[in-house]
Amino acid sequence: MTIPNWLTILRLLISPFFLLVYVYPETFFITQASLPFVLLALFLFFELSDAFDGFIARKYGQVTELGKLLDPMADSITRIAAFLTFTHGPVQLPIIIVFIFIYRDTMVGTLRTICALRDYALAARISGKIKAIIQALAIFIIIAMMIFHSQDLITLQTLQFTAAFVGWIAAIYAAGSGIEYYVVNRSYIERMLKN
């Protein structure tokens, strides 16, 4: 267990609190006005810990097979947890957006695992990195709009429209990156499945 792997596990353990804090803020003594700032702090922790564990792993030669499996899983879980959280009020993100994220990540993750079990590693695609950046930006924009709404700077309708707009952009790109991942690796995937 290396430091990067511990950071990844910590990210996995803390990710459910994003949803819990959003749905039950009073349980954690959080007011509605301060809720978006708490969510922003949690989100920044997720993103910074993700950046740090990758940096430390590469700089100090602590890249492990466990880390290669855990890190993308943690990234997927933390971001999907955030989008799932936003399906509740006041944001009320359409749940179909979250379904697209889950479907795409499950498909890609399963294919990578099957191939890994057969001693073949499917290479990560740049589209997957871009997908992660777009999702992170979408989450940040939604939280920023929540802050504006909590300060009565925008209406609830503006918050919900903006959230749905950036959510759909992220979902459409995620679906496209999943299709591209399969198409590029199709010959390897079919060979592994046949074997």
pLDDT band at 102 (very low <50, low <70, confident <90, very high): very high
User: Residue 32: which residues within 8 A CB-CB, separation 6 or more?
Assistant: 25, 150
Q: Please state, as a whole number, how many other Cβ atoms lie within 10 Å of the Cβ of residue 147.
A: 16
| CATH number where 73 lies | 1.20.120.1760
Q: Domain of 160?
A: 3-194
User: Residue 189: which residues within 8 A CB-CB, separation 6 or more?
Assistant: 111, 114, 115, 122, 182
| Per-residue model confidence (pLDDT) at position 130 | 93
CA-based nearest residue to 110, from 87, 152, 76: 76
Segment 129-155, tens digit of pLDDT: 899 999 999 999 999 999 999 999 999
| Per-residue model confidence (pLDDT) at position 4 | 81
CA-based nearest residue to 79, from 30, 149, 128, 150: 128
pLDDT band at 123 (very low <50, low <70, confident <90, very high): low
| Per-residue model confidence (pLDDT) at position 28 | 93
Overall number of domains in the chain: 1
CA-based nearest residue to 179, from 128, 136, 142: 128
| Per-residue model confidence (pLDDT) at position 167 | 97
Instruction: Between 111 and 195, name the one with better pLDDT.
Output: 111
Q: How far apart are CA 121 and CA 114, in angstroms?
A: 9
